[in-house]
Chain A
Amino acid sequence: MADPFVHLHVASGYSMRHGASHPGALVERAAEHGMDTLALTDRDGVYGAVRFVTACVAAGINPALGVDLAIGPDEPPQVRRAAKVERDPKLPRATVLAVGRTGWASVCRLVSATHLGGERGTPVASVARIAQHASSVIVLLGPDSAAGRLVASRHLAAAAAELARWRAVLPPECLYVELVHHREEGSAALMRRLAAFAAEQGVPTVLSNAVRFADRSGAPVADALDAIRRLVPLTSRHVDGTNAEAELKSGKEMGLLAEELLGSASEARRLLARTRAVAERCVLDPKTDLGIGTVHFPELAAGVDAARALRQRCDAGLARRGMGASMEARARLEHELDIIGQLGYPAYFLTVADVVDMVKEMRIRCAARGSGAGSLVNYALGISDVDPIRYGLLMERFLSPYRKELPDIDLDVESARRLDVYEAIFDRFGADRVACVSMMDTYRVRHAIRDIGGALGLPPGEIDLIAKSFPHIAARQVRDALAQLPELQASGLAGSPRLEQLYTLVEKLDGLPRHVAMHPCGVLLSDATLLDRTPVEASYLGFPMSQFDKDDVEQLGLLKLDVLGIRMQSAIAYAIGEIERVDGQVVDVDTVPRDDAATYELVQSTKTLGCFQIESPGQRELVGKFAPMTFNDLIIDISLFRPGPVKTDMVTPFLQSRHGWKEAALLHEDLRFALEETHGVVIFHEQVLQIIATMTGCSLSEADEVRRALSDPEGIARMRAWFRPLAARRGYRVEIIEKAWAVLEGFAAFGFCKAHAAAFALPTYQSAWLKAHHTAAFLAGVLTHDPGMYPKRLILDDARQFGIAVLPLDVNISDDSYRIERVSVYDEPPPSILGEVPRPVPADGLPDARRYGIRLSLADVKGITDAEVARIVAGRPFGGLSDFWQRAGVSRPVVERLVLAGGFDSLYGIGLSAPVRRRGQVTRRDLLLQVTDLERWNDGPATRRRRPPGSGTAAARGADPGISSSFGASRSFGDSSVGDTRALAAAQSQGAAPVLPVDVQMSFDVGPADIIPSGLPEMNRAERVRAELDVLGLDASGHVLELYEPLFAALRTTRAKDMMKCRSRQQILVAGVKVATQTPQVRSGKRVVFITLDDATGPLDATFFSDAQIGYAATLFHSWLLIVRGTVRRTGPKGISMQAEGCWDLTSVFTTWRSHGIEAVHRQLALPADGYSRAAIEGAAASRSTRPVMTEPPRKLWHASPGSSGG
């Protein structure tokens, strides 16, 4: 039965820390009541609007939309930045509902203006602000409005004046007084007064229920959210609701409330009828009013025909690519342009091409990723750089006339310049056409535990422990996790009523929005009506950001371009710059031939650390077995190394055929063209499409629809019935059809889009090419931009393996990045004189980079700021420590760290490790004493207030976070329009301002006399390595394991470089620095832990299966230096790995060895393992992710370290 009542004031979870239900749950509830219309009026924004409307359409409910805003004074008080004492100032509120398309535009623009007008994160509107956006809106003033509160406190004259302000700015019949009766103590009487007041003032009333949750069970969640919002533990004082009445009640219940309030059935009926009438005015049409299902591209210049312009650019592009004469290319281009024209997307491609051209003009590296590489149009336009015809890539996988969804082109740009690209897009298209996409961060288990735990007043330490004990899972899975994870079962984290309350509420927070942030890459491009269709607010970095997320904007037909910052692109750009600077050679990696033998030799050697996509332990094992020889091989390699192919073991049959151990099965001669490249193993979506199209005679676009249908069982059955008769009609034998179908069914879900892999293979090839030909410059780029999965110290060790000299930190040479320098092939003086090992000659077939050194960077000194680095670089050369102290303006701890890490060694001739020191030689310890003296002198009475010069300059201040940026936009409160959203958003930026170039004084009074040697001993080699690890996080002057070499010799551990000599199933001991642990989710629930160790001769990979983890988990997850015992597992000619059986902390074994000898060590390794500990639980939870968890040196590394003398 239809329920005529309409809820006009409804908050969903998108009212952050206020609403307790998802929009979908509210719609479902309304549908259960039989309601035909429902409004969503979230607080401060319309974040949930698209989801709400979509749910409404699905449920057959008419949607209405509005926003519930805090209302402040018309003239806001001048900026109060620091004083954010009041977490929730409880400002009065008003609800603004949209009427039709114009009303929706008003609401969008009002929300934008409200967010951009004040302080970021605390949107406050005003009557004046609403007056500017009042066309086609309806305003509801309820008990929580200023007027409502004045009536409550019986200031009727003031209430009337307040109402008059609203009446003065709103068109007639657009202002209503909203009655809300939550059956709280005194609320009935209050509502009667409010109704009487409204009647007296001649303002009509409506009835709402100010809904905060779908049903009563949401009430405790709302209580908890109140406390969370106010950052206080739950007490009656901090909870807004006193009962569970703010639910989405049925019309019948609302009718009873009306009668209870007004005391007369007829008056109640009239109230409900007025409410209904308002609702009917507010119903929005998803398509015509909101634009759902339409498309809006940026306008082209007047008179330009998009299709013709696109054709011209493609023709020119093909000619540039040297394909102008190819018939195949021409035909393919026609076909693609035809489909693009049919779909009406020419403007889309032109826009993307425009952006790509612009980025390239800025000399920023840019490459398309994803299925877009399958399109010849993209190749011709320069959006993609992989020839789709040559590599058999299909456009149909990217764009299809059967799918009316916008194609998705993602652009990879240099990470370090991503924001420059954003700025350029805003400049090019204008802030009224561009916005960033937002991303709604929702509650998952750990955040939910933290917030609910805080609301329940649990001790912070306890909350922290409980939260960390859980893996990163959805909040609703909290009890499953408790039941299933062995560490948690053993931990006593279940059982008490308090914790039961906690978990119940945690489950209820599941998926509720908690924080809106800028999507890492999405940029919206639209026409000049963009801001009529989406509100924007300022992102943290001061970009205008749509309140809609990536799925929402797609629904709204807004062109979204993903501009991803890729560190590898920055590393490549950096390497190219270093080659040019040092060698004077201009390298264009985009045009180097893709069949370079040296590059493939490097890949096959598995020395691929730092290379894009092929540096992980698993990939190194795979390239070792596979031995890629062509660009197409790289594409296949990348496609094979994915969960699907690995799980279904597509790799083995492929490699068997590849190495000629088994004959390739090509299904049928007709399919040879598609399957030959992968030896009959179906790896790519493109191959699935070709099989379907070839065997049934359908088009490739249709074939892609079939492929999509194969993802669910019902689709499989349907497609099987379609496929078999068609293939039979084309003369294929039954066995062939059955075989082909089995392949399609089995692999369709796992296959990978070849275009996607090809786009990835490009930076893979380019990085490998650079590593093969310009090893030092490439690794300097990797060290500077840190693109990969390994800690920098492992990359530095990799550099050593290629003969590259690691040059120490030097305040007069080191830069803000890792620079390469030319050095002689042989060290001077010969290292043997100093008692050091000479740099190794790289192994056969590897590039020899002994002519280069990599200079350590100032940027990695612990605690150093960008401004300090800039001042050091600007102030060079420094004559000595006191000169540096006076001019560089670097804080004392950082100066001390520079000393400890050897940054002043060259200034004072501090030798690296000369066995005999000259008499009177200054040592690093002397320099440290000097720092203390310098500081004392500076703080002396005469110069008490003097700070190191520079530390008070604009640049230094600018680098402090929290100070607004220099974009220089004026705040424009109360102006008549939104103005330029870019300038307003920039004014709210919370990011650090860029460090500006600095002038550093070149001379200064000297201060205390320069260094007098005190006779303190120099730091020994071990101490230096330790200091470097502490200060830089890397061991530069030697490998950290050098100190343990005698133990390794005594224990006869196996080194990484000798692993290939091991027999299969041989039992070995290895030792090394833990560089990564990875714990993928395994369906069986048995956890597998992969670890990578670095033992100074290369990386070593070991696998812990669950039985091997018992008792060793704490050591495995918490020790940095490990000894591992295990069995060798050979997987191919160059494939080797190790199955671990146990592990021990290296430092503790070393201590045993030093004090009790080798027998004691063997006894220690033979002891049974310990059980679970708290450390094991935390470590296990932290590592439980599919991505590797990187291991950095621990802060307290040396509690049981060797060779400490006077440290």
Chain B
Amino acid sequence: MKSYGDPVLVELAREAPAQFWWRGRRYAVTQVLDHWLVRGAWWDAPSPTLDAEQEIWRAEATAGRSLGVFDLCFDWESGAWSLVVHD
């Protein structure tokens, strides 16, 4: 994993990511490999909130010649997207 939790701008189509902009480049999603929901370790969090949940799409995406696998994470509490890259 190269980077973790970088902010990212995502555009959805049919309730799934279609393209995103990261570090100034546009990536087109070619395939969604997996899609899941995960709750954080709420017991480690300092807040009394118990229902924070993230929705994650594992997507294959291209920007020009480079092809990669990315995890696009949507945090339902903050409404923010972040990104994890798989080598």
Tell me the A residues contacting B by CB distance below 8 Å.
Answer: 183-189, 216-217, 219-220, 223, 233-236, 242-245, 455-457, 497-498, 500-501, 504-505
Contacts and interface: CB of A to CB of B under 8 A. Distances in A.
Given A220-B42, A497-B46, A497-B48, A184 B36 contact: yes
Contacts of A217: 50-51
A236 B41 contact: yes
A183 B35 contact: yes
23 contacts: A184-B36, A184-B38, A185-B38, A185-B56, A188-B34, A189-B34, A217-B51, A219-B39, A220-B50, A220-B51, A234-B43, A242-B36, A242-B37, A243-B36, A243-B39, A244-B51, A244-B53, A457-B43, A501-B43, A501-B48, A504-B48, A504-B50, A505-B50
A185 B51 contact: no
B34 A242 contact: no
Contacts of A188: 34-36
Interface string B50-70: 110100100000000000000
A224 to B, nearest CB: 8
A219 B36 CA distance: 16
Contacts of A186: 34, 36
Nearest to A500: B48
A953 to B, nearest CB: 51
Given A220-B42, A223-B43, A234-B43, A243 B37 contact: yes
B78 interface: no
A219 B76 CA distance: 16
Contacts of B47: 497
Given A185-B34, A186-B34, A242 B48 contact: no
Contacts of B38: 184-185, 242-243
Interface of B: 34-39, 41-43, 46-48, 50-51, 53, 56
A185 B47 CA distance: 26
B34 A219 contact: no
Nearest to A501: B48
Contacts of A243: 36-39, 53
A457 B41 CA distance: 13
Contacts of A236: 41
A216 B35 contact: no
Nearest to B71: A185
B46 to A, nearest CB: 5
Contacts of A223: 42-43
Contacts of A233: 43
Contacts of A456: 43
A656 B42 CA distance: 66
A219 B51 contact: yes
Given A234-B43, A243-B37, A457-B43, 5 more contacts: A184-B36, A217-B51, A242-B37, A242-B39, A501-B50
B57 to A, nearest CB: 11
A752 B34 CA distance: 68
A504 B48 CA distance: 8
A1036 B39 CA distance: 64
Interface residues of A, dominant DSSP: helix
B77 to A, nearest CB: 13
B36 A183 contact: yes
Contacts of B37: 183-184, 242-245
Contacts of B50: 217, 219-220, 501, 504-505
A497 B48 CA distance: 5
Nearest to B36: A185
Contacts of A457: 43
A184 B54 CA distance: 11
A505 B48 CA distance: 10
B15 to A, nearest CB: 10
Nearest to B50: A220
Nearest to B33: A189
A216 B48 contact: no
A113 to B, nearest CB: 38
Contacts of B51: 216-217, 219-220, 244
Nearest to A186: B34
A761 B47 CA distance: 59
A505 B43 CA distance: 11
Contacts of B41: 234-236
B34 A244 contact: no
Given A185-B34, A186-B34, A244 B46 contact: no
B49 to A, nearest CB: 9
Contacts of B39: 219, 242-244
A504 B50 CA distance: 9
A637 B36 CA distance: 69
A497 B39 CA distance: 19
Contacts of A498: 46
A505 B50 CA distance: 9
B32 to A, nearest CB: 10
B55 to A, nearest CB: 9
A500 B48 CA distance: 6
A219 B42 CA distance: 11
A505 B46 CA distance: 15
Contacts of B34: 185-186, 188-189
Nearest to B42: A220
A-B interface, 5 closest residue pairs, ranked by CB to CB distance from nearest: A500-B48, A220-B50, A243-B37, A234-B43, A185-B36
B81 to A, nearest CB: 18
Contacts of A234: 41, 43
Nearest to A220: B50
B80 to A, nearest CB: 18
Contacts of A183: 35-37
A220 B53 CA distance: 11
B38 to A, nearest CB: 5
Contacts of B56: 185
B37 to A, nearest CB: 4
A568 B25 CA distance: 87
A287 B35 CA distance: 46
A478 to B, nearest CB: 14
B69 to A, nearest CB: 13
A185 B55 CA distance: 10
B34, B36, B41, B51 — most chain A CB neighbours (10 Å): B36
Contacts of A216: 51
Contacts of B35: 183, 188
A361 to B, nearest CB: 60
B84 to A, nearest CB: 12
B24 to A, nearest CB: 29
B48 A187 contact: no
A993 to B, nearest CB: 44
A952 to B, nearest CB: 49
B17 to A, nearest CB: 16
B45 to A, nearest CB: 8
Contacts of B36: 183-188, 242-243
B35 to A, nearest CB: 7
Contacts of B53: 243-244
A187 B51 CA distance: 21
A500 B38 CA distance: 23
A220 B48 CA distance: 11
A183 B37 CA distance: 6
A660 B21 CA distance: 97
B72 to A, nearest CB: 14
A216 B49 CA distance: 13
A851 B46 CA distance: 73
Nearest to B48: A500
A860 to B, nearest CB: 47
A183 B56 CA distance: 10
Contacts of A185: 34, 36, 38, 56
A644 B44 CA distance: 50
A498 B49 CA distance: 10
Contacts of A505: 50
A502 to B, nearest CB: 9
B37, B46, B51 — most chain A CB neighbours (10 Å): B37
A245 B43 CA distance: 18
B1 to A, nearest CB: 15
A183 B41 CA distance: 17
